[in-house]
Structure 1
Amino acid sequence: MIALSLAEIATITGGDLRLVGTDTDSTLVDGVVDTDSRNMTAGGIFIAKPGADTDGHRFVGAAVANGAVLALVEHLVDDEVTQIVVPDVVEALGALAREVVARVRAAGDLKIVGITGSNGKTTTKNFLARILQDDGETVAPINSYNNEVGAPVTMLRVTETTRYLVSEFGAAAPGSIAKLAGLVEPDVAVVLMVGMAHAGGFGGIEATAKAKSELVTASRADGTAVLNIDDPRVAAMREIADGRGMTVLGFGRNEEAAVRASDVEVSASGTRATITAGGASYPLHLKVLGAHHISNALAAITAAGALGVSPADAISRLETVEIAERWRMQPMGNDRVRIINDAYNASPDSMAAALRTLAQITAPGERTVAVLGAMSELGETAGEEHDRIGLLAVRLNIQRIVVVGPEARRLYLAAVGEGSWDSEAIHLPDQDAAFEYLRTELRDGDRVLVKSSNSVGLRHLGDRLGELFS
């Protein structure tokens, strides 16, 4: 974070400053800002966020022991540290992020990219950060820091030397993206897709589309909207962008796309495509598995182009990326038993894409094994969406379907109903049971996909299998 005095932080956050020790109103603070006391370092600012399971105020002492020199709190605590008491620490965190980014932007040449979509946000964020970092200091979220806490924490990592801020915006409810993007008003707004992820919490896919469009509305009127024109709901956001006077750049496989992919091929060594941009064509070889990641790459190339990076440079930098992110199509295991751990998150779209990738990368004589858990936050559509994935797994000829956990039982029943009999499909109660089954069931030549929503935790099962067959 840029250096601010304690008095400035109190004014920005609307808080009551309580000094301790030798601190004065003019004492400067420029350390890391976080809600996790374990992430504190010398000079850090600890945000004591109350939570459903615990209360950050209990960990102020631990934050101080790790180097925190200031705590934002909702009530005074006994720990010996300067505190600013605010009505709502999350609101105060957002206000601080807004002011810091505004100051950096006013003083230099900071450019901000916002990314949203039902799937692909984190991968696209990582792709774009990799492209931009060769041109200047780039700040991007750790993991999926895209909510009311993670997004401002990321924003507060900018300094006077930061050239690019890449922000990822998730939607907890209608209005969330507008609020988060409104903190920084991105120069470039990237909308990837509108799918069924979280649709249960929004009341359907059309409401989800409206929520994603908030990023376009909250971005700078003189900025650029980067839209997936293969997705009709995203393509329709052009009307919003046009109405605000924004430049619109489309990406996809559609002939009208400014940056387009063709000749997509998926293999065990990665994903190949031909990228067409600015009237020229370029070969792309991503080491990341899955045809669906070509769309994420197109989004990153297009956004980078809006910031002045040539397609050739963007592509050469993308080709150095080894994996999209831990637990996202992450290759593990060995040449005999290959594990693909893609269990950080799951939606109907990403589950289908992962299953298709498994089928595509498995050679004759090898066996496909899908280890599948539940997809969360689908609301009243959950049953039919799990049915659809069970049917798809059978129709893709996945040879072993291992369904884990009671919430995913309907997926198993759909697979059996479609014809996955004679132990081709099995339902197991939990991760431990699945591990014991797979430990003896897997054999040379197996290609294994592990996929579930984050809340199910199958990523840890994937790690155990990866270690077992390393």
Structure 2
Amino acid sequence: MMLSALAEELGGQKLGDDVVVSALSIDSRSIKKGDTFLALVGDAFNGNDFVDAAFHDGAIAAIVSDTSRVNNVNSSLIKVNDTRIALGKIASLIRQKSRAKIIALTGSQGKTTVKEMMGSILAFEGETLITEGNLNNTIGVPLTLLRLNEDHKYAVIEMGADCHGEIEFSATITKPNIALLTNANAAHIEGFGSLQGIVQAKGEIIDPTEGDATIILNIDDPNVDHWVYRAEDRKVLRFSEKNEEADAYAENVVVGTKGAVSFELVTPVGREYISLKVLGRHNIINAVAAAIATQNAGAGLPAIKKGLESLAPVPRRLNPVAGIGGCCIVDDSYNASPNSFMAAIDVLMSFPENKILVAGDMRELGTEAEDSHFKIGEYAAQVGLRELWTVGELSKLTGKGFGASSRHFDSTNELVAACRAVANKDTVFLVKGSRGMHMEEIVEQLSIAGSDY
């Protein structure tokens, strides 16, 4: 595409020579010859300051929002008001040309695991693009769409948000054929004001879909009626852990030791026995969601079975790793919310060894923070856990809810030292807390690098 044509698509102003543009980069440090550099602007950076460096390293053009920061006035540029919006428009252009069947998903919990499950299933049916890591925001979603090519038969796009409007933006440029909502609860409530605010925000994934799109909803979520209403005349499929009124659900569930689960998957086109490698009963509904979504996209039951059963635990999400002294560490350090904390505790309780919960703070809970932490401690005590060790100010309340036998540590170093003192082949640690608590550092200090449990 010519730079002038791209400028017209973006509603921007072309400056300098008209050139052919192809590959796009947002990182001036990794520019390749012939790339077009898009200068993003954030709270702590301004990409316009790196345009000259990008040209020096081989960029053929740049998309900018502030030409006063560009020294080479003869450069080939597109001037736009907002480069983030421009990135979204470029991603939308690529999506419009793609023939891939696209599944978009969002939710308060489970979306990354469901994404990985769907990617694993669809890989058995054809070339599949999935969101990498946590690239699920208004920058990550467009960057993922930029990777779409003519070989892709499917794409699975995860969508997250910190405030209202972000999922709507992502869904608008993605235009998914299938939109999946896992659930909505009070996780990360600060940016939305209330649970109802979260429900509204998650529902933004529905609104931009075309009339022939399929909306896939969790019938066990109390907010499902709101989303059904929002879906209007679009096709709606429902999934559940055990509700037989759903289009897909599980029967004959077996929960074994060390978090192992198996079940019979019931779908509109047949049944299949599934044995998961990912841990925890809560992953049954995640698997059912992945199954009904991919089945609607064209996956057969054999691919669904192979995809679900071959998926290993996602790093830092209930991932058992080998630790010092022969101990086991269940690494769930990626993030934390009240529901995911209780699910993780259930997994811990399925281990026969001496069990120690290493708990950090849960962030972004707003006015619910103190009560939520206390209730986690109460829950741990109710299910029979004997050892709760905490770090972080809010986690003192988790200990209070648990009772006098809990132990609080003022620093991560003190906590790690205590863990080392008791680590042996008869001990299992569950390490969990919000991302900002850096609980992964505890795992790193206790684990044996490169070893699985």
Same fold per superposition (TM over 0.5): yes
Aligned match of 1:75: 66
Aligned match of 1:456: 437
- In structure 2, runs of 5+ residues without a counterpart are none
Cα deviation digits, residues 42-62 of structure 1 (max 9, x gap):
554443222223333444566
| Cα distance, 1:434–1:38 mapped onto 2, change above 3 Å | farther
Q: Post-superposition shift, 1:13?
A: 2.3
Aligned match of 1:374: 361
Cα deviation digits, residues 300-338 of structure 1 (max 9, x gap):
111111111122321112211112x22111221159311
Q: Post-superposition shift, 1:191?
A: 0.6
Query: 2:329 touches 2:443 (CA, 8 Å); kept in 1?
Result: yes
Q: Post-superposition shift, 1:135?
A: 2.2
Alignment counterpart, residue 97 of structure 2, candidates 100, 103, 109: 103
1: CA distance, partners of 2:417 / 2:38 = 42
Amino acid at match of 1:369: I
Amino acid at match of 2:229: E
2: CA distance, partners of 1:322 / 1:193 = 23
2: CA distance, partners of 1:26 / 1:67 = 14
Aligned match of 2:183: 193
2: CA distance, partners of 1:64 / 1:338 = 51
1:382-461 pair list within 5 angstroms: 382-416=369-403, 420-421=404-405, 425-461=406-442
Query: 1:209 touches 1:234 (CA, 8 Å); kept in 2?
Result: no
Amino acid at match of 1:17: K
Q: Post-superposition shift, 1:376?
A: 1.0
2: CA distance, partners of 1:404 / 1:79 = 50
Query: 2:125 touches 2:303 (CA, 8 Å); kept in 1?
Result: no
| Cα distance, 1:279–1:244 mapped onto 2, change above 3 Å | closer
1:120-269 pair list within 5 angstroms: 120-241=110-231, 243-262=232-251, 263-268=253-258
Q: Post-superposition shift, 1:28?
A: 3.0
2: CA distance, partners of 1:409 / 1:46 = 48
| Cα distance, 1:330–1:72 mapped onto 2, change above 3 Å | farther
Alignment counterpart, residue 331 of structure 1, candidates 320, 333, 336: 320
2: CA distance, partners of 1:70 / 1:215 = 33
Alignment counterpart, residue 51 of structure 1, candidates 30, 36, 42: 42
Query: 1:50 touches 1:57 (CA, 8 Å); kept in 2?
Result: yes
Query: 1:191 touches 1:234 (CA, 8 Å); kept in 2?
Result: no
| Cα distance, 1:269–1:248 mapped onto 2, change above 3 Å | closer
Q: Post-superposition shift, 1:115?
A: 0.1
| Cα distance, 1:244–1:83 mapped onto 2, change above 3 Å | same
| Cα distance, 1:146–1:25 mapped onto 2, change above 3 Å | same
Alignment counterpart, residue 22 of structure 2, candidates 16, 26, 29: 29
Q: Post-superposition shift, 1:400?
A: 2.0
Q: Post-superposition shift, 1:403?
A: 0.8
Residue 12 (structure 2) pairs with residue 15 (structure 1): yes
2: CA distance, partners of 1:404 / 1:68 = 48
Query: 1:266 touches 1:290 (CA, 8 Å); kept in 2?
Result: no
2: CA distance, partners of 1:79 / 1:327 = 45
Query: 1:136 touches 1:164 (CA, 8 Å); kept in 2?
Result: yes
Query: 1:452 touches 1:458 (CA, 8 Å); kept in 2?
Result: yes
Q: Which moved more, 1:204-213 or 1:186-195?
A: 204-213
Cα deviation digits, residues 367-390 of structure 1 (max 9, x gap):
111111111111101110011111
2: CA distance, partners of 1:67 / 1:392 = 58
Query: 1:367 touches 1:447 (CA, 8 Å); kept in 2?
Result: yes
| Cα distance, 1:82–1:449 mapped onto 2, change above 3 Å | farther
Amino acid at match of 1:55: N
SS at 2:398's partner residue? helix
Query: 2:360 touches 2:391 (CA, 8 Å); kept in 1?
Result: yes
SS at 2:447's partner residue? helix
Q: Post-superposition shift, 1:450?
A: 0.9
| Cα distance, 1:6–1:469 mapped onto 2, change above 3 Å | closer
Residue 302 (structure 2) pairs with residue 315 (structure 1): no
Q: Post-superposition shift, 1:468?
A: 7.1
Cα deviation digits, residues 63-115 of structure 1 (max 9, x gap):
567765443322234477744332111111111111221122xxxx3211110
| Cα distance, 1:279–1:161 mapped onto 2, change above 3 Å | closer
Q: Which moved more, 1:188-197 or 1:154-163?
A: 154-163
| Cα distance, 1:44–1:126 mapped onto 2, change above 3 Å | farther
SS at 1:268's partner residue? helix
Cα deviation digits, residues 190-211 of structure 1 (max 9, x gap):
0101111122322221221122
Cα deviation digits, residues 404-431 of structure 1 (max 9, x gap):
1224222222223xxx42xxx2112232
TM-score, structure 1 as length reference: 0.88
Query: 1:404 touches 1:434 (CA, 8 Å); kept in 2?
Result: yes
Among the aligned pairs, what percent are the same residue?
Answer: 30
SS at 1:285's partner residue? strand
Amino acid at match of 2:300: S
Amino acid at match of 2:14: L
1: CA distance, partners of 2:57 / 2:310 = 35
2: CA distance, partners of 1:451 / 1:63 = 41
SS at 2:160's partner residue? coil
Query: 1:275 touches 1:282 (CA, 8 Å); kept in 2?
Result: yes
Amino acid at match of 1:14: G
- In structure 1, runs of 5+ residues without a counterpart are none
2: CA distance, partners of 1:448 / 1:39 = 40
Query: 1:371 touches 1:402 (CA, 8 Å); kept in 2?
Result: yes
| Cα distance, 1:281–1:160 mapped onto 2, change above 3 Å | closer
Residue 338 (structure 2) pairs with residue 348 (structure 1): yes
| Cα distance, 1:320–1:82 mapped onto 2, change above 3 Å | farther
